[in-house]
Amino acid sequence: SNKPINQSNRLPMGMKENPHNGCLIAIGSTNGFVYIYYFYLISKIDRIESSNKRDKDLELLELFQCQHSKRDISDVKISRDRQMLAVGSHDTYIYIYAIIFDEGNNKLPMTCELKVLQRLHGHSSYITHIDWSYDCQLLRSTCGAYEILYWDIKKGKQFLSSGDALESDTEWFTDTCTLGFQVMGIWPPNSDGTDINAIDVSKSNNLVVTGDDFDNVNLYNYPCVVKHAPGLHLSAHSSHVMNVKFYNTINGIDNWDNGIVSLGGDSTVIVWSMNS
């Protein structure tokens, strides 16, 4: 395939008047390309049964593609206001794009374009994870050298602070960075900085899930600040777990989670259900 998928991020459009009930999907590839897709539901008349019953089909429409890095894209995140896209690359840069989206009066085909706003540089190794703040003003990032940095998006510069207020007072829209005070207990004994591949924090903000190099999906209380914290360790993959994500079935509106989705290096996707 000429579109090897590396990381993806989706965000519901959130417009009640949108008849397509869709969401934007950003995908980063191993050849440095970034793709924007629109994933939506369409209704059709079931002509085979000659009835008025409406079925729903899923459609995936490619809107835009670009390449500003020649290295692997390791993470992509759409901001909460759907106005910006952050892209982390193995070239140590973070690219901030403006998302220029034209819905075409809620009619397909719609158009989308990415315009470069900032190129952030400060990490000494490849980018591993990035998170947007809830107000879309700050970005948090980690890299292969185990650095965690904060960025002022408007200024396009690293945010420097001598205190702890930045981390403690900032409300994050996503929580996927594997480093930081809130998740320092997720690391198992004798592990290095590469053993945890991905994390996600539940919408209820009381659980954190991790995927590791030991084929496990791990569930902990959040914040997880106790060294070698106890947790629930789930084994089903036959290779390292590359990504994990909490999900719910109420279109992201409510504040609870139905389960976990994990993606393994064994090319399997496993859905884990959660019982309260």
Pick the range with the lowest mean pLDDT from 32-46, 117-131, 178-192, 196-210.
Answer: 32-46
pLDDT of 106: 62
Mean pLDDT, range 152-162, rounded to an integer: 89
Closest by CA position to 99, among listed 132, 77, 75, 67: 77
pLDDT of 166: 78
Report the distance separating Cα 145 and Cα 158, nearest Å.
17
Burial annotation 222-257 (CB, 10 A radius, 16+ → b, else e): bbbeeeebebeebeebeebbbbbbbebeeeeeeeeb
111-121 sheet: strands from edge to edge: 73-78, 84-89, 93-102, 111-121
Which residue is associated with the tokens 């791990």?
A: 218
Q: Where is mean pLDDT largest: 46-50, 58-62, 112-116?
A: 112-116
User: Which residues are paired to 115 by β-bridges?
Assistant: 98
Specify the pTM: 0.86
pLDDT of 164: 65
pLDDT of 149: 96
Mean pLDDT for the chain overall? 85
pLDDT band at residue 59, thresholds of 50, 70 and 90?
confident
Mean pLDDT, range 260-276, rounded to an integer: 91
Is pLDDT above 90 for 84? yes
Q: Residues in the chain, how many?
A: 276
Is pLDDT above 90 for 22? no
**Which has more pLDDT, 48 or 32?**
32
pLDDT band at residue 102, thresholds of 50, 70 and 90?
confident
Report the distance separating Cα 241 and Cα 267, nearest Å.
10
State percent of the chain over pLDDT 70. Answer: 80
pLDDT of 60: 87
pLDDT of 104: 64
Mean pLDDT, range 130-143, rounded to an integer: 96
Amino acid at 249: T
Residue 222 DSSP code:
S
Q: What would the pLDDT profile of 165-198 be if each residue is shown by its tens digit?
A: 777 789 999 999 999 999 999 999 888 889 999 9
Is pLDDT above 80 for 98? yes
Is pLDDT above 70 for 26? yes
Is pLDDT above 90 for 136? yes
Is pLDDT above 60 for 155? yes
pLDDT of 257: 72
pLDDT band at residue 47, thresholds of 50, 70 and 90?
very low
Closest by CA position to 151, among listed 173, 136, 168, 169: 136
Q: Which DSSP string do the residues of the chain spell out, in sequence order?
A: ----EEEEEEEE---TT-TT--EEEEEEETTSEEEEEEEEEEEEE-TTTTS-PEEEEEEEEEEEEEES-SS-EEEEEE-TTSSEEEEEETTSEEEEEEEEEE-TTT-SSPEEEEEEEEEEE--SS-EEEEEEBTTSSEEEEEETT--EEEEETTTTEE---SSSHHHHHPPBS----S-SGGGTT-SPTT--TTSEEEEEE-TTSSEEEEEETTSEEEEEESS--STT---EEEE--SS-EEEEEEE-SSTT-SS---EEEEEETTS-EEEEE---
**Widest CA span of the chain, in angstroms?**
69
pLDDT of 95: 98
